[in-house]
Structure 1
């Protein structure tokens, strides 16, 4: 599982945008996002850097968190 902290994810609309961004890099990714804590858990076969790049491209400032 990969974990991200996304400070500019503050609402349900942001969660949908984050999910779309991650699934653009890996359509099979499982995404669990919590806007209250601004944390995202992702199950994906893609490397962390690929998912982080997709989030950055979508306008989300994602910081990886060590599990």
Structure 2
């Protein structure tokens, strides 16, 4: 299942790494693609979208549905 979020405060590669690790902590097999310019995170995973969103928010990011 593909889930997309807008993470407006994702601004650098450190953010990308933090978000990727947070998502993979909830869904270890997840494929995480990020677009820094668009502030978009696309996740391929069977995990629930709410759990993925919560994992990113727990790292301090503001997450909106794409």
**What range describes the TM-score normalised by the shorter chain of this pair?**
over 0.9
* TM-score of the aligned structures, taking structure 1 as reference length: 0.92
TM-score (norm 2): 0.93
Give the Å deviation of 1:53.
Answer: 0.6
Name whichever of 3-12 and 56-65 sits farther off. Answer: 56-65
> Which residues of structure 2 form unaligned runs of 5+?
none
The residue that corresponds to 1:20 in the other structure is 21
Residue of structure 2 in register with 1:41 after alignment: 42
Q: CA deviation digits over 1:12-67, x for unaligned, max 9?
A: 111001101111110100000011110011001111100001011111111112xx
User: RMSD of aligned C-alpha atoms?
Assistant: 0.7
How many residues end up aligned between the 2 structures? Answer: 65
